[in-house]
Structure 1
Amino acid sequence: MSASAISIKEKVGYGLGDTACNIVFQIVINFLLIFYTDVFGIGAAAAGTLLLVVRLFDGITDPIMGGIADRTDTKHGKYRPYLLWMALPYAVLGILAFNTPDAGVTLKLVYAYVTYTLLMTIYTAINIPYSALGGVMSKDSSERASIQSYRFALAMLGGALTVYLLPKLVNYFGNGDESVGYPIAMMVFGIAAIICFALSFVYTKERVVESNTESQPMKLTSIFKDGADLRKNSQWVIIAAITFFLLTAVAMRGSVTGYYIEYFFDEKERFGQFLSLGMLSGVAGALSANFLRKLFCKVAIFKWAIIATIFLHLGFLPLSKDDYSIALFLSMAANFAHMLVTAILFSMVPDTVEYGKSALKTVGNRMAMSFAGHLLALKFGIALGGAAAGWSLAYVGYVANAQQTESTLNGIVWIYSGGPIFFGIIIVLLLRSYFLTNSEMTKYSTDN
């Protein structure tokens, strides 16, 4: 093992942190909209607006959390402690967000806004330091790509188990009443998340230490200046834009997957299977990034995986209601490509930080702030994608728990597949301006 190499044990330990994060992420992406419309009892348009409005609040919390994490100084490091500090609130709010109060529609909507906002705030407080941790475990760009490969393999494995088990646990604990089953199921997942966060804390180590951390005051003006400085880094801006468009597509598709399986194919019982098999394919995609990075430039891998995703989603459009198996195959292939893209994407953020420090002479530690901005773009993409899905469902005439018209079913298909096609093309165009290839990064790595 080379001096810069990180052990598999530590990479797996780091990945367990995203196993925990992915419990909320995957449930929000794949179940929250249909939970709000079909269980909680609010309209699709109102639910879509909720998903957008709450995410706008992240525009305040994300940069603040990034600045705070960059300025944290404990004996356990800057970022690792948050895995312990925020684990319990994360689990508790996951339960509350999927609780259905016995109240009228207005009070329910208020409750949904409050609990979803608090859940996303705690998610920010744990996920930004966790993401930054992956950037300070090694100075080597290629090794960081390997770390992210393990991260997203474990994330998808946890996601696959979550989406497979959630419907079964909801049915088991609720005995047919999903409003009872959801919070109890979330309690089970919350306990699992706490354990994963604790293991991630124990098995990881921060190695990249900035010598001028003390020069960064814990003031809002200083924190927001760090955030404003990010826009001077053209490569970071491109990665943030790519992330926004990528997650807009993912959220649009994920939010309507339940509707696609239940109403278009009339296969509600296979919803968990459809999601979990797709995520297991994503595990293979994330792990393949670790292998392919040794053979090809990760920017080239990223581009061709996006192109593959576009063509795979074109394949959904001509399918009939009898083609569930073909849809499952296409979904698994698309998730393989998507997780290959995601593992590489998150390894590109530290590359933009190295570029900023070396080429642009950025001062101070910007790792958490860079990830905060990156995750803010990710969350805004999720917000827009989720909102667009809700609004689009209302536009095509979706009626909860009812037989859908042919035009509504066709609309659901287009919502499911159209986002990845349209936004995938935009991403390919954006990549033409990104130049931090493997060979280019040798100029900026501080490990040389």
Structure 2
Amino acid sequence: MDSTALLTLDDKQLTLPVIVGSENEKAIDVRALRDKTGYITFDEGYGNTGSCQSSITYIDGEKGILRYRGYPIEQLAEQSNFIEVAYLIIHGELPTLEQRKQFSTMLTESSAIHSGMEHLFENFPADGHPMAILSAMINSLGCYYPHLATNDHERDVATYYETAAQIISKVRSLAAYSYRSSRGLPFIFPRRDLPYCENFLHMMFSEPYHQYVAKPEVAAALNLFLLLHADHEQNCSTSTVRMVASSGANLFASTAAGVCALWGPLHGGANMAVIEMLKSIHAEGDDGTKFVEQAKNGKADRRLMGFGHRVYKNYDPRAKIIKQSFYSALSALKIKDDPLLNIAMHLEEAALKDDYFLSRRLYPNVDFYSGLIMRAIGIPENMFTVMFAIGRMPGWIANWKEVASNPKGRINRPRQIYTGPVTRNFVPIDQRR
């Protein structure tokens, strides 16, 4: 028998259906509430609101569980790679050997940027933020591939896999080009013989007279970073993608909107905030000891960044995974006596041993290690969020597909509670005080 919830309003009662997910998550379906009672629900920030039903990612924050399409993140991180996981998220199943080859070939053949788009980079200011450039350029792809951006969901869904490959491949090229453009450096074209992450690093750091060759540990760390960020349920940027998609917008426009949402410092800027925190601690001549004590006493003049998580009330499973890769990359790059790294290790030790942090579950999260990895690789801080966007692209793409493929889908249109002035009469300008 289906579950229901009984809502009592004044002297009326309303029976509401209960939706149960595949992991026994439960939600009260309130879609009939306003029509039958005149009431709406109020949940500022949507912390207790389910905006959709999705089959992509499952999170249990209390237990520290993260799964993509049912597969535990620990298994994917150990046995798979970013490209295979991107295929899984976009297609819904792990690829066969032949399907993986075909997908990799599609990405290789789609990596080059249209020559017309290269000229667009020249018109951005030299100090233009890479996220602004990335968003604009992803949106511009719709101009160069109009058959993939019709704003007709039926037609756009029919070309979904081609569009997905174009975006997954080109986002790294656009990111690298935005970096080089901001520094007045010549563009480096992608190579057909390099894997996804190595190709990105080549486009970022090679020069016409010198080929950058990524150390295996560095490429592995970047691959893992992207894999761990591939999707994370209905966060701010993913919800933005779905919101925009609900209007009928194409995949390029919707993912460009996701980039804009991710740009916000409260969402995509956490790993950069970790580095800024470490820099400020170092500038004060502190090795982290003083800051830890200030944080415990509530006297710190800045927030403790990279610890704890809004969703995970246990250890962030991604942090456990990326930690070892971080140390492997440091060893390969022979980074030993870095003052920011020393402070970070001091904070990590305190978080894992001090009862203040343990009792509050303030464990290091994925942003703590990922910011340090990006810095070690040589990624500038204003590119950190761009790296996040590259990793999150598969999740955005798959969420767009769920919206665009829903025959019963409607444009998203939240309600509000108006708190402004009540009705008042217009006052001519010569009578205003």
TM-score by shorter chain over 0.5: no
More helix by share: 1
TM-score by length of 2: 0.31
TM-score relative to the length of structure 1: 0.30
Tell me which of the two structures has the higher relative contact order, counting C-alpha pairs closer than 8 angstroms and 6 or more residues apart: 1
